[in-house]
Amino acid sequence: MHVVGLTSARHFALVESLQIYDQIIVYDDLETKLDASRPTCFVDMAGNTKLTTRIHNHLGNNAKYTCLVGAAHVGQGGKPASPLPGARPKFFFAPSWATQRAQEMGQSNKRRGLQVRKSVGVSVCVVFF
């Protein structure tokens, strides 16, 4: 597996210092440096619809899976103007996933300390932090 980090030119050195990617590409070089011939899984931490559209248009049918996780680019999200080539992006929401996993694991896991609680408000954060 070839792992690519996609980032801004401003953050290139920081991302490079992490030493967790096989290749790092800045946004401006996406179409020239990302190998569109490879089947690709894309985990979107930015939430930038224009960028996701560029990636899908570049990869075409080699966009095999896109997971929408984050929204670091606040205000740049939303739905693409037209259907994207490749696999349809799927939204990942951690609280929903945790609840589903707890249900799948069943009641026997309460002994292991797994508890899912729904709480609302700032005062709840103070309790945990």
Q: Does pTM surpass 0.75? A: no
How far is 33 from 112, CA to CA, in rounded Å?
46
- pLDDT tens digits along 65-88: 988 886 655 555 566 667 888 888
- pLDDT tens digits along 96-122: 777 777 787 775 555 455 565 666 655
pLDDT band at 129 (very low <50, low <70, confident <90, very high): very low
Task: Judge contact between 71 and 49, C-beta under 8 A.
Answer: no
| H/E element, 128 | helix 122-128
